[in-house]
């Protein structure tokens, strides 16, 4: 890149364009380049990599200043990235950043997160992409530390890039003091006790999603949950290839059930 080249940065999130987190992220990366925001017109938490295929999408221009353009979109976080790249931006962005999410996306929450869905989608397009989350759900959470690290890590990735097929899942603890950054793996665990029930006027049971996180490896200092619990920013390199490669050879040695279940080696 030449000295005068201004990077183009695409931003989205899943808490919606009005959320505090995305506005803190905009401020954090605005000094790094030209920023275009395409974000949902309301909350889309837990939307994962969902796409909208049965109804059309609409976008709305909310702001167009020098260096900062903001659109809202009726779709999901992934729809926002797809619209941004296919329809809105005149060239491929140099960086995609999503968030800053109100709430952790560590461990298996990477599977459910719309913030990470958007970052993963950026990665599918071959663009260096980073999802940022703060371990604090409050609408008025203090994003000071998260914004600081978002700027630092974004600057670094703009300079270094990321390999094809790999994005970053960055979570920032909601504590005042942060010890530094830890490069981590996605913690093994699951959610338990996931529903509480109420009864509506008609006597029908209503199931509300809730839950407790059951950490299968609470003492693993290489895991993202450990890093967050111990005051570190966790950075998990996250890949879009979900193939369990080491399992391929094992499956190839399955015994034949019958001729038609022949395994081709």
Q: Provide the minimum distance between the beta carbon of 211 and a copy of itself in the complex, in angstroms, as a whole number.
A: 9
For position 49 contacting a copy of itself by CB under 8 A, the verdict is yes
What residue ranges in 118-185 does DSSP mark as E strands?
129-134, 166-172, 180-183
Contacts 24+ apart (CB under 8 A), 244-252: none
The C-alpha atoms of residue 254 and residue 243 are separated, in whole angstroms, by 18
Q: What is the length of the chain?
A: 265
Taking residues 178 to 197 in sequence order and writing x for each that binds a copy of itself by CB under 8 A, - otherwise, the string is xxxxxxxxx-x-x--xxx-x
What is the three-class DSSP state of 37? strand
| Residue 170 found at the interface with a copy of itself (CB under 8 A) | no
Helix (H/G/I), strand (E/B), else coil: 236: strand
For residue 166, state whether it binds a copy of itself (rule: CB under 8 A): yes
The nearest distance, CB 118 to a copy of itself, in angstroms, is 12
Identify residues 90-129 at the interface with a copy of itself (CB under 8 A).
108, 110-112, 117, 120, 124-126
178: Cβ–Cβ under 8 A, 6 or more apart, which residues? Answer: 145, 149, 172, 231, 232, 233
State the minimum distance, in angstroms, from the CB of residue 130 to a copy of itself: 12
Q: Residue from 10, 83, 119, 141 that binds a copy of itself (CB under 8 A)?
A: 83
Of the candidate spans 5-13, 24-32, 39-47, 93-101, the one that interacts with a copy of itself by CB under 8 A turns out to be: 39-47
């Amino acid at each position: 890149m030449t000295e005068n080249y201004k990077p183009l940065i695409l931003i989205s999130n899943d808490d919606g364009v009005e959320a505090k987190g995305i506005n803190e992220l905009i401020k954090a990366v605005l000094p790094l380049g030209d920023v275009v925001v395409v974000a949902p017109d309301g909350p889309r938490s837990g939307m994962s990599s969902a796409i909208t295929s049965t109804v059309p999408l609409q976008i709305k221009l909310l702001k167009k200043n020098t260096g900062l353009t903001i659109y809202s979109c009726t779709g999901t976080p992934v729809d926002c990235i797809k619209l941004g790249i296919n329809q809105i931006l005149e060239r491929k962005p140099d960086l995609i950043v999503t968030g800053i999410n109100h709430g952790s996306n560590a461990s298996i929450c990477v599977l459910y997160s719309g913030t990470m869905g958007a970052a993963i989608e950026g990665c599918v397009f071959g663009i260096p992409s980073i999802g940022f989350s703060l371990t604090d759900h409050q609408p008025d959470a203090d994003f000071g530390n998260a914004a600081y690290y978002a700027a630092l890590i974004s600057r670094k990735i703009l300079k270094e890039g990321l390999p094809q097929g790999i994005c970053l899942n960055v979570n920032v603890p909601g504590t005042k003091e942060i010890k530094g950054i830890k490069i981590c793996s996605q913690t093994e665990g699951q959610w338990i006790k996931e529903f509480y029930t109420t009864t509506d006027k008609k006597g029908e049971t209503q199931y509300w999603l809730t839950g407790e996180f059951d950490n299968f490896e609470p003492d693993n200092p290489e895991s993202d949950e450990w890093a967050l619990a111990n005051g570190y920013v966790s950075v998990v390199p996250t890949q879009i290839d979900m193939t369990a490669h080491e399992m391929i050879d094992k499956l190839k040695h399955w015994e034949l059930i019958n001729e038609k279940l022949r395994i081709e080696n």
